[in-house]
């Protein structure tokens, strides 16, 4: 079952609720969609019974999202389904339209009432509305999708289901990820059938890491601007809509830094490898005399291993995760409030007592997590604590789908940033440079590009990445 | 808070789920609607917390409904809210549009995707769409409502909220009920202030019985075809849209027979009184030599008391309700299946042992409830059991909002109906005639009509009632 | 499955939680008990799954109770199971031991730690402990039960399960009810097999009303002091332990007045009939000039019908129950607090406008329910409202298992009682006399006793009833 | 609040349910215990409300456990509370009595009915019962505890609460862990007050790792056989009950290998350090020519780092944990069943493609986890996969509180064990030797022992560890 973004990191999510939904089709009648959606974690939304009701079906699309304003937002829950003159369509969307307000006004001026504030409904009604309207008997969905792509440049990865077809679409800038996997026939699971061109079906996902767990293997990415038509046994490129002349592609660089799972593959490279290279680059940019390198478990571990290797320092664990932490009901006194972080980690003090420690973190957003960790390490015997951050400071809001704290909350925009080491209690603190990050990301892509044949369509257009949250340089002009 | 249909009977509901919703407005900005909806009983949908979130607000509309296809239908849950060029509107609807399919096609042909199968969304999008569209600055909602009423004749009682106004609308045939109540100032609750024209606000409801429990008193009915504009301190008739020339009004007669709570008032009369008159009329039409009159608790009690009084027979209780019956998990043997009805009632056998019993029931739909009751009474010592039904047999489907079993399930359409007494095990069984029912309902209305001044607008047009489920005589031509 | 007290009235219960439990045995090994217990309503405690786990089994005992101190009391939940040297026993208990504190001290002095505050554990440990202890191989359970009955006179109805036997025991005073039913073979359900002496098994219950709903019929009461041994096909009296010389029996008279379901049978008479006689007696003791007699639905209806019949006044309904009342979350203003009772009832004002009304209530405990009802009736047009109470005033606490409000809360012990009519706003108020109640209860028992043969063991000993809560006259001396 | 075993590993737990309970005392009256227990995870059992009800209180004991037979076992949930002649006592127990059956029979012969199958009730009733019984006025709890320790040698760590005192007791063999922590005054949290002898109170726990998260610091272990009396401000050794002449102590060696959290301290050493030494020892015992060393995340990481360091091979991550795995509802085909392990881990294939990999695991119990991991690595490109296990094979059942699979399920007792590498698909597989494990554990203890003064009571008696599950050599003779 094709699905979009079943995996999500959670650091930028501010206390949000998750919702989830699946729509399936038996592939015969566009009226026969089966829908199940709900608020909360996937495991709460879907029971064995609710999944059974989605069968039998040959295809389907699913979605998970973080809603930020509570339980009454169920109607914002995706996929969004509407009935049109030409049957039902279901739409799952990852991203955020930069000109949504403009498009909403346009639709409402035509007399369409909008029942949610979600871009998904907006996209769905735009697909239903797109003039000139055909007669009752036929609908040219590809023309409608291309029209939509003309009306809004970014950002969106889309799955659109109609009858027995799913259209997978990525915006011309390729801002949000989308890739295709191939379900491996059972007999081929033992490695023999790797060359076999047969498949049991196709899956689409934001991240390739989800393929393994459902018995699929990575097939390829959907390219920026590409419209892919997926039917039971066939994957076919219908068109590639190009971005404005001269614009480079703009895949979100923060997927590499933070959001994606380390085993996911984007643009031909494993996220883990990029993160390790960021650590190595950081060792070049900001070395430090110390006894050991460690990490805040566990997302910064690849960068820490890269840093340690490049520096020739031992990699040592200083904290262990306390997996049993749950909600904290009562905090009867100051002591517990002081020790919030001590509930999340155990301290392996014998490993670093009397030593100079370098801690690699993947990002510092507000600064209120690293500070008590440093204090904890010092109290447990660390002689020095140096912080190295494997990404540049975040300074600007994202209008393309990532939930970033307000400008005021970001530590990089606050006065304390000028004396950050002192503020967080470290002996020193250095961030990776933007150039260092970009080269860690692009280095191996460029190498492969240089070695690829001219006919390789994957490398069409100018290579680029969206670094807007770091530089304020947005890929498209923002409209309000 | 105006509300629509907070009360519902449950006999014709086939295993359905209930949903509920409330939308409130602070009366200032049309963007500031607060919405809470959910599946399940009102008490499950609304917690103290969710209600608090609906405040502060000056006005609001609510809705409860029975969905028939399960949990994924939350999006069908009312009130329906959409954003239009002129702000948000919220719509609550009771009834069923007889030309819904036609109207859906019309909207979709204009490029509007419909996200639910509910008439409420249809009505809301029709209100948003209605051409000719005004410019961005103004919207004539009354013109839009009147246009809607031209497009669909029945059946609907509507509450439409926009900014600080609620429009209460009843279809030209008056098929579904709707009435207005007045919130009584606290100081006036002790009866002194009855003549006081002051009010603390207005409420609208399908049934007047809900007023008492929220400290309001009955004010008046919304008339068939009337558009009432309700603001904080004012109730004002904007227009009365007339039905087709010569058509009588068509208020659902089954509200009197079955659905409404006995303390509700329709057309100037208490439902309890109509039911008692039905019992008296039944005694005239179908007397029987017996020792006592009783009822299947508890909806047929007024008819039973009326029958007993007219016949001069004593009214005696023969069954008591078992309030502790819950779900039946397992039925390990035949014995329990035979005794399903014995789980719902206790038998007061000493009250009727050796006696000839007349049981008054309010309706016999499928015949599978009365049959085991008769058997139970006989086994417990009744000498004779005669059944008298205080309404005529149901024979036809309802397309105006009442969930009636299929034609095939209705006992009146089955071969067993020809020898019904034998089939259900009674000594005799007689239904009230359609004429008897109609006269029981209309008798006192006509009396008041004859005595009212010519200027009384309540009596405009030809008096009639919808008896379609009994006679097949639908108030409007059905379109598909 | 024998069960004890599956039915309960709820008026004296003060905000309590209900718990429920079932223990079953396959009848072969005393180790093989299957237990399921939980807090909350039966339907929440028992799911289809939890019931399945109790099978296969040939016998079992169940229990429901109202706990008064919250969720942590699950361990007080019955039936209580302990392992003894002679296998497991399970005990279900209805009642309250008047000398519990004394017995607890005795057991603890012998080194038995008590893990709950419940009489059921106390009874179970007393049965396990009873000296002289037999050797490892045999246990004389009947001797142990008789020893228990010597140690504590009242009040208890007990079910004790061991291997394939259930002992049903009622205390010598017969204070709490207990009766035996016979499961009717399927083929005999149509009335033919009434004389058939065959049975499919036996059930025991506090109230006979529960038999019908499980396909059983009333067989007989367990007599005061009787020990009945029940096995799969046999019911056998093992002994009848007599009360102190000269003491009359002391069945709780409030079961007739209030607790029991009207279709239950105690001492050979239907509860409904007793209540109707109370109404007739009340008409003799306290007639009133009025236009109609009515009731507060629905427990006082038999008394109201009896009163109306004796007086020759019409019986008319003035209130209807609002079945849709749930928890009240918020009461945003005075208006709703004033109208609490209006949420529970609808008013059938056309039935009594301008009339003099007699309302029959079954009891007035605190006086805070009847007062707003009277106000409601007057506001809706009643000319006079007279209250007649079909039981005497409650003045004393119960130490035998009934949860009565504290002495201070009882209206009969408060100064307002001296001018009660004025306090509750009635034109007059009269209670039934204690003598009137006792004669209404005993009249038909005495008649049957006079007509029964000398050998009828049911009538052994002096007839009496516990009227302690009305008169302060307790059946046994209270020990602390 | 002192607590026992709030942390637990979960590998040997077979599908079990967790329960949790807390009992608090206000320290004044032994009747005033407040109890909250429940089935399920701590976070489900304890809400903010239920915790509030446990306050105000000065002391308390808590417990978490894995029940193995389902929901009806709530009564087995600890702490166990009973009322005795001398007030209530509450008992929390970690361990398993080797002579429980014998002790149960003894109690039952004295007429005590046992309501659960738990050792905790047994211990509690033994404490209540212990003869000779004192008179009503005094109770010598220490004598009772010592008597209990005479009756049963192992295994138990106990917390016994009575009025304002908690007794912390460890069995003479010290089989289960127990240690004491000191609550640090708020002002001293910044490291200044380390020498401060003041404390805000004491906590007791199975594992020291829990101290940090509640603002306490490690104080000392309870010694084998020690009875410690803890009051608000005082910790006092009452007695040390010695084991049989010549018997060595027998702390469970599997706490080091598997159960304990790596940051816990036992016998003066950090668990993490022992595990790292096991990895180093394993490198000495079973080196292998390879390209990299890795781990199955994340419990074997310290051993893997130790192994890599000793061998001079790079430590590299090959798998990442999939944190989003939930319940698997449906497995519609073979493919998913084959890929169970692929749902738990992501594969970092670029890190090991074409390389020879050594995987360090902490234990192989049944062999059904490591086998698909090896397959996964090979399919993703590993050239060789060698398994090194940082503990010896488990061969024998544990009767002292650890839930080990049956002998038949243990891979070390199955025929496949003789050709294990082939069975699990590895190129080679070697376990750590028993001697290697014991020396990794005892090495640093012995060093400290040799350097400690003769008066150090921590080192009294012969040093030993329970290796029964590895060698069959049980510390005490087993009784049935």
Select the residue of C37, C113, C121 nearest D128 (Cβ to Cβ). C113
Select the residue of C262, C314, C325 nearest B320 (Cβ to Cβ). C262
Cis peptide upstream of residue C79 (ω within 30 degrees of 0): yes
Closest by Cα among A89, A47, A46 to A64: A46
* pLDDT at residue number A63: 76
Q: Which residues of D are annotated as a binding site?
A: 252, 299, 361-362, 398, 466, 469
Helix (H, G, I), strand (E, B) or coil at D135: coil
Same domain, D200 and D76: yes
Q: Is D1 inside a domain boundary?
A: no
3-state helix, strand, coil in chain A (%, to 5): 30, 25, 45
Chain B nearest-CA residue for A129: B111
What is the pLDDT confidence band of residue B341, given thresholds at 50, 70 and 90? low
Distance CA C98, CA C400 (A): 7
Average confidence (pLDDT) over A260-280: 95
Quick check: B430 and B285 in contact, CB under 8 A? yes
Same domain, B148 and B76: yes
Whether C312 contacts chain B with CB within 8 A: no
Quick check: A189 and A124 in contact, CB under 8 A? no
Q: How far is D334 from chain A (nearest CA, A)?
A: 7
Top residue of D76, D77, D106, D112 to mutate, by most chain C CBs within 10 Å, is D112
Quote the ipTM score.
0.86
In this structure, of B123-127, C210-214, D44-48, D460-464, the range with the lowest mean pLDDT score is D44-48
> Could you tell me which residue, A6 or C22, shows the higher pLDDT?
C22
Q: Please provide the average confidence, as pLDDT, over all residues in chain C.
A: 82
Asked if chain C contacts chain B via 3 or more Cβ pairs within 8 Å, the reply is yes
* pLDDT at residue number C198: 54
Whether D128 contacts chain C with CB within 8 A: yes
Chain C nearest-CA residue for B341: C213
**Domain harbouring A311, CATH code:** 3.40.50.2020
Helix (H, G, I), strand (E, B) or coil at A29: coil
Identify all chain D residues contacting A313, using CB atoms and an 8 Å cutoff. none
Helix (H, G, I), strand (E, B) or coil at C185: coil
Same domain, B156 and B284: no
* pLDDT at residue number A226: 96
Indicate yes or no: CB of A48 within 8 angstroms of CB of D330.
yes
Indicate yes or no: CB of B43 within 8 angstroms of CB of C346.
no
Detail the DSSP E strand segments found in D298-408: 319-321, 345-347, 356-361, 384-389
Q: Name the domain count of chain B.
A: 2
Select the residue of B47, B55, B350 nearest C270 (Cβ to Cβ). B350
B311 annotated to bind ligand? no
* pLDDT at residue number C124: 93
Identify all chain D residues contacting C87, using CB atoms and an 8 Å cutoff. none
Quick check: B385 and B318 in contact, CB under 8 A? no
Average confidence (pLDDT) over C125-135: 74
**pLDDT tens for residues D279-312?**
999 999 999 999 999 998 878 999 999 999 999 9
Same domain, D279 and D227: no
Same domain, C305 and C417: yes
In sequence order, which residues have a C-beta less than 8 Å from that of residue B83 and are 6 or more positions away?
Answer: A104, A108, A113, A114, A115, A117, B31
Q: Is A459 inside a domain boundary?
A: no
**pLDDT tens for residues B425-448?**
999 999 999 999 999 999 999 999
DSSP class per residue in C255-294 = IIIIIS-TT-EETTEEHHHHHHHHHHHHHHHS----SEEE
Q: Is B471 inside a domain boundary?
A: no
**Domain harbouring D207, CATH code:** 3.60.20.10
* pLDDT at residue number D344: 80
**pLDDT tens for residues A426-455?**
999 999 999 999 999 999 999 998 888 888
Top residue of D187, D263, D331 to mutate, by most chain A CBs within 10 Å, is D263
Placement of tokens 């009832």 in the chain: C345
Indicate yes or no: CB of D215 within 8 angstroms of CB of A261.
no
**In the listed set B194, B228, B243, which residue is the last one of a domain according to the structure?**
B243
Q: Is C467 inside a domain boundary?
A: no
Helix (H, G, I), strand (E, B) or coil at D347: strand
Same domain, D348 and D237: no
Q: Is D464 inside a domain boundary?
A: no
Select the residue of C71, C72, C114 nearest D83 (Cβ to Cβ). C114
Indicate yes or no: CB of B111 within 8 angstroms of CB of A130.
yes
Same domain, B202 and B319: no
Q: How many contacts, defined by CB atoms under 8 Å, are there between C and D?
A: 97
Same domain, A304 and A215: no
Whether B349 contacts chain A with CB within 8 A: no
Distance CA B373, CA B385 (A): 10
Q: How far is A292 from chain B (nearest CA, A)?
A: 51
**pLDDT tens for residues A357-415?**
999 999 888 777 888 899 999 999 999 999 999 999 999 988 888 777 778 888 999 99
What is the pLDDT confidence band of residue C309, given thresholds at 50, 70 and 90? very high
Q: Assess whether pLDDT exceeds 70 at residue A197.
A: no
Average confidence (pLDDT) over B268-297: 96
Q: Is C249 inside a domain boundary?
A: no
**pLDDT tens for residues C404-438?**
777 888 899 999 999 999 999 999 999 999 999 99
Quick check: C1 and C201 in contact, CB under 8 A? no
Indicate yes or no: CB of C50 within 8 angstroms of CB of D35.
no
Same domain, A215 and A77: yes
B208 annotated to bind ligand? no
Instruction: Tell me which residues of chain D have a pLDDT lower than 50.
Output: 1-17, 67-72, 188-196, 325-338
Instruction: Give the global pTM.
Output: 0.82
How much is the CA Rg of chain D, to the nearest whole Å?
24
Helix (H, G, I), strand (E, B) or coil at A120: helix
Indicate yes or no: CB of B215 within 8 angstroms of CB of C7.
no
Residues 177-206 of D with CB under 8 A from A: 183-184, 186, 189-191, 200
Distance CA A208, CA D348 (A): 12
Residue C457 has what DSSP assignment?
G
C120 annotated to bind ligand? no
Q: Is C1 inside a domain boundary?
A: no
Distance CA D31, CA A378 (A): 45
Average confidence (pLDDT) over C54-83: 68
Identify all chain C residues contacting B333, using CB atoms and an 8 Å cutoff. 186
DSSP class per residue in C147-172 = HHHHH--S-EEEEEEETTEEEEEE-T
Beta bridge partner(s), residue C87 = C84
Indicate yes or no: CB of D133 within 8 angstroms of CB of C111.
yes
Same domain, A123 and A163: yes
**In the listed set A416, A435, A454, which residue is the last one of a domain according to the structure?**
A435
Top residue of B62, B115, B135, B140 to mutate, by most chain A CBs within 10 Å, is B115
Same domain, D44 and D185: yes
For C430, the domain range is: 269-435
Whether D125 contacts chain C with CB within 8 A: yes
* pLDDT at residue number D61: 82
Q: Is C461 inside a domain boundary?
A: no
Chain C nearest-CA residue for B274: C350
Same domain, D109 and D238: yes
Q: How far is B85 from chain A (nearest CA, A)?
A: 5
What is the pLDDT confidence band of residue A248, given thresholds at 50, 70 and 90? very high
């Amino acid at each position: 079952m094709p699905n979009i973004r079943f995996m999500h990191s959670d650091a930028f999510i501010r206390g949000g609720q998750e919702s989830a939904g699946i729509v399936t089709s038996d592939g015969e009648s566009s009226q026969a969609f089966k829908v199940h959606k709900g608020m909360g974690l996937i495991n709460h939304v879907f029971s064995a019974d609710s999944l059974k009701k989605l069968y039998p079906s040959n295809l389907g699309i699913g979605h998970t999202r973080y809603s930020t304003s509570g339980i009454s937002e169920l109607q914002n829950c995706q996929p969004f389904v509407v009935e049109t003159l030409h049957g039902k369509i279901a739409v799952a969307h990852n991203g955020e339209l930069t000109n949504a307000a403009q498009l909403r006004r346009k639709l409402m001026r035509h007399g369409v009432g909008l029942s949610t504030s979600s871009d998904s409904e907006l996209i769905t009604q735009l697909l239903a509305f797109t003039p000139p309207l055909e007669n009752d008997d036929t609908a040219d969905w590809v023309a409608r999708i291309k029209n939509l792509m003309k009306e809004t440049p970014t950002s969106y990865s889309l799955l659109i289901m109609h009858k027995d077809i799913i259209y997978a679409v990525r915006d011309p800038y390729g801002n949000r990820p989308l890739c295709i996997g191939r379900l491996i026939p059972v007999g081929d699971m033992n490695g023999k059938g790797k060359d076999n061109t047969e498949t049991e079906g196709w899956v689409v996902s934001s991240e390739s890491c989800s393929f393994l767990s459902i018995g699929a293997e990575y097939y390829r990415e959907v390219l920026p601007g590409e419209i892919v038509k997926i039917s039971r046994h066939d994957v076919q490129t219908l068109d590639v809509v190009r971005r404005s002349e001269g614009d480079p592609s703009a895949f979100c660089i923060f997927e590499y830094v933070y959001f994606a799972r380390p085993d996911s593959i984007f643009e031909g490279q494993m996220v883990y490898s990029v993160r390790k290279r960021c650590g190595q680059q950081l060792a070049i940019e900001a070395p430090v005399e110390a006894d050991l390198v460690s990490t805040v478990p566990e997302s910064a571990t690849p960068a820490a291993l890269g840093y340690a290797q490049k520096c020739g320092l031992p990699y040592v664990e200083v904290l262990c995760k306390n997996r049993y932490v749950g909600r904290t009901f009562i905090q009867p006194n100051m002591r517990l409030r002081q020790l919030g972080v001590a509930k999340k980690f155990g301290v392996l003090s014998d490993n670093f007592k009397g030593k100079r420690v370098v801690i690699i973190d993947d990002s510092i957003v507000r600064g209120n997590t690293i500070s008590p960790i440093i204090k904890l390490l010092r109290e447990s015997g660390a002689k020095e604590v140096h912080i190295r951050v494997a990404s540049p400071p975040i300074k600007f809001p994202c209008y393309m789908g990532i939930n970033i704290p307000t400008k005021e909350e970001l530590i990089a925009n606050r006065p304390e940033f000028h004396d950050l080491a002192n503020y967080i209690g470290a002996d020193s603190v250095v961030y990776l440079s933007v150039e260092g990050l970009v080269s860690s990301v692009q280095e191996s892509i460029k190498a492969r590009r240089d070695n690829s044949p001219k006919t390789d369509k994957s490398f069409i257009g100018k290579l680029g990445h969206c670094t807007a949250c770091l530089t304020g340089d947005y890929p498209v002009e923002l409209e309000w």
